[in-house]
Amino acid sequence: MDRKPLRLLLAEDLDDDALLVINALRRHGYEVSHERVMAADTFRGALENESFDIILCDYVMPGFDAIAALEIAKESGNDIPLIIVSGTIGESVAVEAMLNGAADYILKENLIRLGAAVDRELREAEVRRQKRLFDSLSQGQTEVLELILDAVPLTRILDRIVERAQALFSSGAICSIMLANPERTYLTLGAGPDLPAGFIDEASLIPIANGCGSCGTCAALGKTVVVEDIAVHPDWVLGTMSVYHYFPHAPTPEELRWIESAATLASLAIERTRAAEKLHASESLMRIASEAGHIGGWTVDLPEMRITWSDQVCAIHDEPPGFSPPLNRALDYYAPEWRDKMAVVFARCATEGIPFDEEMEIITAKGRRVWIRSIGECIRNSNGTAVRVQGAFQDTSEKHKAMEDAEFFATSNRRAEERTRANEQRYLLQRNALISLTKDIPSDGLEIQDAFHRITETSANTLGVARVGIWRYTADREAVECLDLYDLQSDTHTAGDR
């Protein structure tokens, strides 16, 4: 069985208990790498210097407890689930710990729950992480597109892209953007606010040619190049986006997607700026922003109700460029449950001047259901007469898909918890049945064997299992021996096996 890697921060002062916790995780299928701490300062230092998937913490230790650990974890800003693993604690104490941010509490005498609890918390942490990344990427894309549309200088746009990209790396990576001249003969530094001064001096002018340094080689090859260790390989840039780590590092597929997204935005900004030198800035920037963000524009001239759609709005509707439907046909694209609402908000905008911003579903010309965001405002002439309703139209299907995925993960987590609780109840029933059977074990050797027979037979018939056995460790604890093994089908007892 492939083991799942788990980076564990363990706050536990007892050696035996620490070993029990780690062994329980290993039995559950985890390949555990851990750091063990017993004081607040070492706990804080571990969070500052290392990366962890989960924190397991004893409730009370000499000079340190779980409540203090929860406060330190909050201060670190890291979203790492913390599960309390302790001896018997009162209900009020457990409630206080949960209110302070503990993900769960597990009794040391019931470590059978630990693996499932860690599974659940890792899944929920991953859902939260993916949502944060999606929100960050969406916010960054929107911000950069707005900077482009506002004709902000290229250097400011590229600096912002670099800052956004660097924020995605918890390892403190440094990013930069290199720009090619129009003839594609050399590179200059476009953005890299956190690069060392010596590097900036060296990157002032780099020829674009195979073998001319890392950036020049990559630009000449025109392909993505990933190098884990620059000490043994000269090419360590990703397109026009460069990522520098303080240690040998192989980027994950997710990290590549982040940087490719940032590189796409950087390319968009560079292309828009250069196009603005030849064309009218507003037309060029609007077109690119529309393509990159699935955003288009529309107008309805009043009182003729003549509709104009941009090419991107046509594409969202699965219609050819230049398509212009009548108003009633445009409303028919909206899904039946949204159609009347759209008609009302548009009419209020056209007659009363009330702007709108709505998210709804449309059914395209090809029958696809697509989530869209439609924004509209009324334009009046100098006499105050409404002459046009205009706005933006955006495909928001990806956002809604991410929300549906998050809900799916949350539902899966709830079902997993329900199965875990059912298994716990079954375990308790089995344990209590065995305890009741062993209350009056006699001291005589022959009678003890009879008692063992009674226990295994009763357990097998009560629980409906094929075989039930009683085992114990040998004196040297190097092996276990069978005191009695009952087979329900053959109604036989055996003993003595090791």
Q: 218 by DSSP, 3-state: which? A: helix
DSSP labels, 31-63: EEEEEEE-SHHHHHHHHHH---SEEEE-SEETT
d(CA 432, CA 425): 11
Q: Read off the tokens for 314.
A: 């046509």
Closest CA to 483 of 439, 440, 438: 438
Q: Which domains are assigned to the chain?
A: 4-116 (3.40.50.2300), 150-283 (3.30.450.40), 294-395 (3.30.450.20), 438-494 (no CATH)
Whether 147 and 163 have beta carbons less than 8 Å apart is answered as no
Query: Would you give the end-to-end CA distance of the chain in angstroms?
Result: 25
Whether 37 and 55 have beta carbons less than 8 Å apart is answered as no
Q: What type of residue is 356? A: F
User: What pLDDT is recorded for position 187?
Assistant: 82
Instruction: Quick: pLDDT tens for 168-208.
Output: 666 567 787 888 777 778 787 778 777 777 777 766 677 78
Question: 35 to each of 9, 72, 123, 463, 492, how far by Cα in Å?
Answer: 5, 16, 22, 41, 49
User: What pLDDT is recorded for position 41?
Assistant: 93
d(CA 433, CA 427): 10
Q: 283 by DSSP, 3-state: which? A: helix
d(CA 295, CA 311): 10
d(CA 385, CA 64): 72
- Dump strand ranges (E) for 104-246: 104-107, 174-180, 186-191, 206-207, 237-238, 241-244
User: What pLDDT is recorded for position 346?
Assistant: 93
d(CA 249, CA 230): 10
Q: Within the chain, which residues score under 50 in pLDDT?
A: 228-239, 281-282, 284-285
**Which residue in the block uniquely carries the two structure tokens 């979203």?**
79
Q: 244 by DSSP, 3-state: which? A: strand
With a CB cutoff of 8 Å and minimum separation 6, the contacts of 207 are 185, 186, 187, 213, 216
Closest CA to 316 of 341, 295, 338: 295
β-bridge partners, 369: 363
d(CA 259, CA 162): 10
Closest CA to 316 of 264, 377, 362, 268: 362
How deeply is 140 buried, as exposed, middle or buried, from its count of CB atoms within 10 A (0-12, 13-18, 19+)? buried
DSSP labels, 303-360: TTTEEEE-HHHHHHTT--TT----HHHHHHTB-HHHHHHHHHHHHHHHHH---EEEEE
d(CA 9, CA 284): 52
Closest CA to 486 of 464, 462, 466, 463: 466
